[in-house]
Amino acid sequence: MKKWRFHRLAPAALLALVWACSTSPSARFYTLSDGSPGENPEITAAATVLLVGPVELADYLDRPQMVVRTGPHELRAQEFHRWAGSFRQEASRILIGALGEALAPFAVRVQAWTPGRAEGPLRGRVALDLGRVDGPLGGEVVVEMDWTLMDGSGRAVDRGRLSAGERARGASHAEYAAAVAEALRKAAVELALRVADGGQEGP
């Protein structure tokens, strides 16, 4: 009798397993851009160029999953909530765009760093290290970033650490992504204030 019950129950158990697998949540993907066209600040033809790069990430950020803070000493990767592309590249675009807007009044054009290439008179280069970009869902996202400003010859002329924060408007992952983007923009504006008078045109 026990053997007969096993044969009767095994197909039902198998069907339950198949159903559970077929109803697993699918991943959702997010970007730091809201999809609106970016602004191109007006810059004089005599503008100098500030290169940005490399942009380094803390190890826990260099992954496709979103990472949110769940406690004072705890972070959690969100397996079903992922960045649509490389978080490093997305964060770099936000930082470079916001830096460009903030430094345009100082006749500084901001470009991503490519070794050996600068489209204009070189003012310098700033290297960035994002040590923290996280926060709780529905809470404040905090960005902590180390920066090093170099002149045209590659010599470090200034360095520092800054932080910026933005409170998410809601507890969804999409609103978390928007808060990350705004916190990065705030950090870029703060950086612009720090470097506006630094760096010299290279030889």
Q: Does any domain span residue 202?
A: no
Q: Does any domain span residue 107?
A: yes
- What phi and psi values does residue 66 have, to the nearest 5 degrees? -65, 145
Q: Does any domain span residue 201?
A: no
Check: CB of residue 179 under 8 Å from CB of residue 168.
yes
Domain harbouring 57, CATH code: 3.40.50.10610
Host domain of residue 119: 2-195
Residue type, 113: W
**What pLDDT was estimated at residue 141?**
98
pTM of the model: 0.83
Under DSSP, the state recorded for 86 is: -
Q: Does any domain span residue 203?
A: no
Q: How many domains are there within the chain?
A: 1
The one-digit pLDDT tens for each residue of the chain (203 residues) are 455 454 554 555 545 544 545 556 799 999 999 877 656 666 655 688 999 999 999 999 999 999 999 999 999 999 999 999 999 999 999 999 999 999 999 889 999 998 877 777 888 999 999 999 999 999 999 999 999 999 988 899 999 999 999 999 999 999 999 999 999 999 999 999 998 865 444 43
